Amino acid sequence: MVINAMQAWGAVNYHNAVVLCRENSDSEEPEKVRVLFTHPTYNAMKPCPFFLDGKCRFESSVCKFSHGTVVPFSQLLAYQDPDYSLISTGGKCLAKYSDGLWYQAIISSFDEEFTVHIPSLNKTVQTPIENVFPLEGSESGSSSDDEDLDEEGEGEEGAVVEWIPSGPHRALGDWEKYTTGIGSKLMAKMGYVVGKGLGKSGEGRVEPVEIKILPPGKSLDMCAEMREEGKLRKAPGQEKEGRRRRRRKRRLVETSRIEEEKRVNVFDFLNAKLQKKDSQAKSQSVSKPKSGNLNVQLFTVQEDIKSVGKRRQSLQAQFARHKGRRVEIIYLCILG
């Protein structure tokens, strides 16, 4: 199916879609259906993979991806197969990028794979044919032919050149939320539509120009070489942010190092205390026998030896004295 979808900035374009379900089959209101876009051009159109599996935790109004778009059934148009015969070098098409979104691109060459250039991303990529969708009226022509087509198409709807957003990047003028927003107001008076690119057909860039500080007295070629080597200075705000990030990283590293040292010092302190106690106990146990206790023990042993010797001599004398007397007593007993 082909449906018209209103973008967040008010523009209405037609997109290919598939019907997911009917919304109000029993109601008296005009019949409505829920559709999913087959060629999403920004995240709000991209089908939510968790919703299709029934696992999305967010409501459709909160989820940054699409849970389906409800449209009147009367607004659906018949689907038309893409005409790949329109493909030619320099022709326009929709090309699917690695982020799953489809971007307006220009065909550079095609053989087994297509080589396309995506102006909004400033990238040239190779992609298979199933990731290329040709756009009607995409043949490259001269500027005079384009002017003739513009004159013929005045007052008619004709084919609308669809602007393809460049994805979830910074919005142009996003910094004005901190100011009065006079720049956006002036641009709106001059015909600028919020969300579209710059230029007559909104095909220009949608991201702000990044500030680059070039060194004085250097040629553009030298600046280009310095940019490739990463030697160019960044904008003051970017430099300040980079310095803050580096200081924050250094503080984290220093804090973790100090905490690690504290943990190590506590364990070292405990180990030193325990080792000191063990060494003191060993030194005391070794030093005591070497001093007065050893002399006392030696004197005690010597006295014991002397007393044992005296006791031995006394016993030997007693034995000698009582030896003859025992014989006499035995003899008298026999005679009696």
* 201 and 88, same domain (yes or no): yes
CB 103 within 8 Å of CB 41: yes
CATH number, domain of 116, equals 2.30.30.140
- What is the helix, strand, coil percentage profile of the chain, to 5? 45, 20, 40
C-alpha distances (whole Å) from 238 to each of 235, 248, 254 are 5, 15, 24
Full DSSP string of 101-165: -EEEEEEEEESSSEEEEETTTTEEEEE-GGGEEEPTT-----HHHHHHHHHHTTTS---------
State how many domains the chain has: 4
Residue 179 CA to its chain's centroid (Å): 31
Domain limit, last residue, from 80, 102, 124 = 80
**What's the pLDDT at 69?**
83
**What's the pLDDT at 75?**
80
**What's the pLDDT at 56?**
83
Strands annotated E in the chain: 2-6, 12-22, 32-37, 69-72, 92-96, 102-110, 114-118, 123-127, 132-134, 212-213, 233-234
**Closest to 168 in 3D by CA, of 41, 19, 57:** 41
* 23 and 100, same domain (yes or no): no
* 302 and 318, same domain (yes or no): yes
Asked, for residue 169, whether it belongs to a domain, the answer is no
* 48 and 109, same domain (yes or no): no
CB 16 within 8 Å of CB 38: yes
139-150 as b/e: b if 16+ CB within 10 A = eeeeeeeeeeee
Q: Give the 3-state secondary structure of residue 186.
A: helix
Mean pLDDT by 10 residues, the chain (336 residues): 50 74 72 85 82 80 82 81 81 87 87 85 86 69 42 42 45 69 78 70 68 78 80 60 79 82 66 73 57 79 89 85 64 56
CB 33 within 8 Å of CB 19: yes
**What's the pLDDT at 151?**
45
**Cα separation of 107 and 133, whole Å?**
11
* Residue-number span of the structural domain to which 134 is assigned: 84-142+192-209
Alpha helices (H) along 162-235: 182-189, 220-229
Element (H, E) at 332: helix 292-335
**What's the pLDDT at 215?**
78
**pTM > 0.75: yes or no:** no
* 273 and 318, same domain (yes or no): no
* 27 and 133, same domain (yes or no): no
